[in-house]
Amino acid sequence: MRTQVAIVGAGPAGLLLGRLLERRGIDTLIIEQRDRDYVLGRIRAGVLEHETADMLDQAGIGKRMRAEGLVHDGIELCFDGERHRLDLRALVDRHVIVYGQTEVTADLMRAREQTGARIVYGAEDVMPLDFGGSQPRLRYTENGISHEVACDFIAGCDGFHGICRQSVPDNAITSFERIYPFGWLGVLVDQPPVAPELIYAHHARGFALCSMRSNTRSRYYVQVPSDDSVENWSDDRFWDELRARLSPETAECLQTGISIEKSIAPLRSFVAEPMRFGRMFLAGDAAHIVPPTGAKGLNLAASDVRYLADALIEYYEEKSTSGIDGYSERALRRVWKAERFSWWMTSLLHVFPESGGFGRRIQRAEFDYLTTSLAAAQSLAENYTGLPV
């Protein structure tokens, strides 16, 4: 079997890369370890930067996003009950769109299925081979039968625990990581959102976030210790804790219900350098992880894909290697800016056990600065809605 670009991973990064290349006549094969239902069942955030939404339009799959996505012109910050709205539109003339990552994945899957482009679900023993030379290969097993794919390039879009980064020799890659001493306990509920825009709340008890998936489905989070367990949290306990961390006005408006999904997500900052190894490239969570506080995970994967798709299209259409040669450096510049912003938002809004009273006073001073300085507010808005790709 042969293809031009073998893509490992059928999440948004892998599917979007396949879509962009397919529309320029470049043959791709996507290999996914999980089955289709599992991929679609993963619960992920869905705040799309301005340019990510434009990229989905350019990929020809933005119609449902534009019809069903929720355009947000601002966000609300809350510190110990004191509320302040940041008007993103007024500050930087941009907005974000709330549209679940599951919906993005579904749109991309549907588009690929409609064109008949190849995708393998349930692949086992996936292994990239010989990517340091000129003839890389991808080996996998499907239904007990071993297959080998010859290709020009391998794109590792297989997530933080994927095989592609693990296949790189230790002496060829450097990792940078910070693991935070807390996680996010998230609850999904079929109730209208408590507010029309996202609320990021800092409280002495910990961080809280009020988000949504639609006008009838809400997603709420509270900061919990990293070693906590979902079993410790009944629905009633969660709602009581969430109310305690919000302003009294917001807490009074909160509509609760039986959770339809409840989970704890650990928080970490992680970057692997470089993002190219011969003829294999890493993109998305395979190369970097950001805390979800800045809403950068999916958007950062999309910008990786934009850079990589442009580089591969240039290689095939113009016979130039300049794009693929510069991919890692170009992508990492944006990665580290997103890492900085996500770390900063996390530092501003969460309670760190080691910080004590001094740390909270610094956070309070930062909040006061954000709410009184146009330059500070514009900086947050610029980063939140997305730096130029």
What strands lie across the sheet with 288-289, from one edge to the other? 82-87, 74-79, 199-202, 208-212, 218-225, 174-189, 261-273, 288-289
* 296 is an active site residue: yes
Catalytic position from the list 221, 292, 307, 350: 292
Q: pLDDT band at residue 44, thresholds of 50, 70 and 90?
A: confident
Pairwise CA distance, residues 149 & 34, whole Å: 19
User: What architecture (CATH level 2) is domain 180-266+351-385?
Assistant: 2-Layer Sandwich (3.30)
Pairwise CA distance, residues 100 & 136, whole Å: 35
Looking at every residue in the chain, the average pLDDT score rounds to 96
Catalytic position from the list 288, 296, 307, 327: 296
Asked if pLDDT for residue 42 goes beyond 80, the answer is no
User: What architecture (CATH level 2) is domain 5-55+97-176+267-346?
Assistant: 3-Layer(bba) Sandwich (3.50)
* 200 is an active site residue: yes
Q: Phi/psi of residue 132, each to 5°? A: -80, -10
* 161 is an active site residue: no
Sign of the torsion angle spanned by Cα atoms 383, 14, 134, 24: negative
pTM: 0.94
| Close Cβ partners of 161 (under 8 Å, ≥ 6 residues apart) | none
Pairwise CA distance, residues 49 & 290, whole Å: 15
Catalytic position from the list 200, 307, 315, 327: 200
Q: Which residue has the tokens 């390039």?
A: 153
Asked if pLDDT for residue 312 goes beyond 90, the answer is yes
> What is the model's pLDDT at position 41?
80
Q: pLDDT band at residue 66, thresholds of 50, 70 and 90?
A: very high
> What is the model's pLDDT at position 125?
95
Q: Where are the domains of the chain?
A: 5-55+97-176+267-346, 180-266+351-385
* 316 is an active site residue: no
> What is the model's pLDDT at position 355?
85
Beta-sheet pairing, 28-31 with 47-48: unpaired
Catalytic position from the list 307, 315, 327, 384: 384
* 292 is an active site residue: yes
* Residue range 98-146, pLDDT digits in tens: 998 999 999 999 999 999 999 999 999 999 999 999 999 999 999 999 9
**Residue 106, beta-bridge partner list:** none
From the list 266, 271, 265, the residue with the least C-alpha distance to 304 is 271
- Give mean pLDDT, residues 6-23: 97
Sign of the torsion angle spanned by Cα atoms 9, 61, 325, 320: positive
**Count of Cβ atoms closer than 10 Å to residue 101 Cβ:** 20
Q: Is 218 helix (H, G, I), strand (E, B) or coil?
A: strand
Pairwise CA distance, residues 14 & 8, whole Å: 7
Q: Is 387 helix (H, G, I), strand (E, B) or coil?
A: coil
> What is the model's pLDDT at position 288?
98
Asked whether the bond before 291 is cis by omega within 30 degrees of 0, the reply is: no
Pairwise CA distance, residues 46 & 104, whole Å: 9
Q: Is 179 helix (H, G, I), strand (E, B) or coil?
A: strand
Residue 36 near residue 109 (C-beta atoms within 8 A): yes
One fold for both 5-55+97-176+267-346 and 180-266+351-385?
Answer: no
* Residue range 190-211, pLDDT digits in tens: 999 999 999 999 999 999 999 9
